[in-house]
A and B are shown apart, each in its own frame.
Chain A
Amino acid sequence: MTGDISDKVFAQQVIARLPPAAPSPGFEAALLAAYDAWNDARANGAWAAWKAGLRRFSEIVWPGAPLWAPASVLAAALLMGASLGALLPAAANAEPAGFSLEQPGSFSLLSSDLPQEDMDGRS
């Protein structure tokens, strides 16, 4: 045990006498520059991914067109849709459309105003 302790003290003293490794001039600046590069790539990466997605979408809706063309058509379509959405409910209230399964139908198989057909389909 005594031997082990003295080995420990010896190692401690030996390591303490090792000179520290000094970084090359500009090494820490290079590390910081690497951080800046990583940070730029990260920021540009998000923007580049967004732009690439938009470009793919525009190639589907309008192949070969510059990016602004489908974007402005999309904006115009949205504007038109919003305007129609704002106007249409008033028109729909004036004349109700549609039907309900719970209300009786407006026609009857027995109604006399339907064209009469015989079993062979002749009128």
Chain B
Amino acid sequence: MHDPDAEDVAKAGRGDRSAAARLIGRHTPKLLTMARRMLGSQAEAEDAVQEVFLRLWTHAGRWQPGKAKFETWLYRVALNQCYDRLRRRPTAPLEDAADVTDDAPPPDAGLDEGVLGREIARALDALPERQRAAILLCHFRELGNIEAAEIMGISVEALESLLARGRRTLRSQLAHVKDLAGDGA
């Protein structure tokens, strides 16, 4: 199994700045979107991604390429960071609700897309964290069930169960949205 990141991880662990820059450039956008969808807050997502990369640098020197796929390890660390941050929240704070409105796309995008994006983000936020993680790994990251289950540290059957419940809830939460009603049915 060829791991495209293995060489860069080893080099970054030895102090190679350009290898570190390549890893950052390759993984930041998707890690950040994943963390943003899990946490519902841009600032918290950026903190989480920063922490993930710090973990990466401290472990890079000891990285053993054959043991696990780098991306699997990276997303497991990211997911654990998100879980930790979600658990540290005492209650669902008011600013989180305000933060959902930040989901609006850039001004050049259509208003409908912005409203739709907010509706979807709200429905996703309403899912239990493990169902949300399963949906993001399989539908946003487009990982296979085996890899997603490995990242979440659960069996494939458990993942499939989370996915089924998450998809069902997501669909019922968005049933009122006209633009989506006909798409998936």
Contacts and interface: CB of A to CB of B under 8 A. Distances in A.
Contact of A17 (B42, B116, B167): B116
A51 interface: no
A20 B170 CA distance: 19
Interface residues of A, number: 31
A24 B42 contact: yes
B80 interface: no
A105 to B, nearest CB: 63
A7 B164 CA distance: 8
Contacts, number: 109
Contact of A21 (B33, B116, B135): B33
Contact of A34 (B25, B42, B53, B174): B53
Interface string A14-52: 111111110110011011101110110011000000000
B109 interface: yes
A10 B15 contact: no
B174 A14 contact: yes
A18 B54 contact: no
A10 B171 contact: yes
Contacts of B167: 4, 7-8, 10-11
Contacts of B139: 11-12, 15-16
A71 B27 CA distance: 49
Contacts of A31: 24, 28, 49-50, 53
A32 B21 contact: yes
A43 B17 CA distance: 14
Interface string B15-45: 1010011001100110011011100001001
Contacts of B65: none
B129 interface: no
A18 to B, nearest CB: 5
A6 to B, nearest CB: 6
B50 A35 contact: no
B141 to A, nearest CB: 10
Nearest to A38: B57
A21 B183 contact: no
A74 B128 CA distance: 67
A36 B12 CA distance: 10
Contacts of A6: 184-185
B120 interface: yes
Contacts of B156: none
A-B complex: 10 closest residue pairs judged by Cβ atoms: A10-B184, A21-B36, A7-B167, A15-B139, A21-B33, A19-B105, A11-B167, A35-B20, A38-B57, A31-B24
24 contacts: A10-B170, A10-B183, A10-B184, A11-B166, A11-B167, A11-B171, A11-B184, A12-B139, A14-B183, A15-B120, A16-B139, A17-B113, A17-B116, A18-B37, A18-B120, A19-B113, A21-B35, A23-B46, A24-B42, A27-B28, A31-B49, A31-B53, A34-B54, A35-B12
